[in-house]
Amino acid sequence: MQSRVALVTGGTGGIGTSIVKRLAAMGHKVATNYRNEEKARAWQQGLKAAGVDIALAPGDVGTPEAAEAMVREVERQLGPVDILVNNAGITRDTTFHKMTPQQWNEVINTNLNSVFNVTRPVIEGMRERKWGRIVQISSINGQKGQYGQANYAAAKAGMHGFTISLAQENARFGITVNTVSPGYIGTDMVMAVPEEVRNKIVAQIPTGRLGSPDEIAYAVAFFVPDEAAWITGANLSANGGQYMGW
175 has pLDDT over 80: yes
Fold annotation for 5-234: Rossmann fold (3.40.50)
- Check: CB of residue 202 under 8 Å from CB of residue 209: yes
For residue 100, report the phi and psi dihedrals to the nearest 5 degrees. Answer: -90, 160
pLDDT at 173 over 90: yes
Backbone angle region of 76, left / alpha / beta, with phi > 0 → left and psi within -120 to 50 → alpha: alpha
- pLDDT of the residue at 141: 94
Contacts (Cβ under 8 Å, ≥6 apart) of 18: 212, 213, 214, 216, 217
Q: How confident is the model at residue 102 (pLDDT cuts 50, 70, 90)?
A: very high
Residue 121 predicted with pLDDT over 90: yes
Mean pLDDT of 205-225: 98
63 CB-near residues (< 8 Å, 6+ apart): 117
Which 8-state DSSP code applies to residue 112? I
Average pLDDT over residues 178-192: 92
β-pair type (29-34, 5-8):
parallel
Q: What is the pLDDT of residue 225?
A: 97
Q: What is the pLDDT of residue 125?
A: 98
**All structural domains of the chain with their residue ranges:** 5-234
Q: Would you state the pLDDT for residue 210?
A: 97
Would you place residue 189 in the very low, low, confident or very high pLDDT band (cuts 50, 70, 90)? Answer: confident
Among the listed residues 147, 152, 184, 218, the single catalytic one is 152
- Higher pLDDT, residue 190 or 19: 19
For 201, phi then psi, to 5°, come to -65, -50
pLDDT in tens, 28-44: 999 999 999 999 999 99
Task: Report, as an integer, the average pLDDT of 56-73.
Answer: 97
What pLDDT does residue 131 have?
98
Specify whether 34 is catalytic: no
**How does the average pLDDT of the chain come out, rounded?**
96
- What sign results for the dihedral spanned by CA atoms 180, 185, 188, 194? positive
Q: What is the mean pLDDT of residues 10-31?
A: 97
Kindly report the three-state secondary structure assignment for every residue of 116-177: HHHHHHHHHHHHHHCCEEEEEECCHHHHHCCCCCHHHHHHHHHHHHHHHHHHHHHHHHCEEE
What is the percentage of the chain residues whose pLDDT exceeds 90?
A: 95
Q: Give the model's pLDDT for residue 193.
A: 82
Indicate the pLDDT class of residue 156, thresholds 50, 70 and 90. Answer: very high
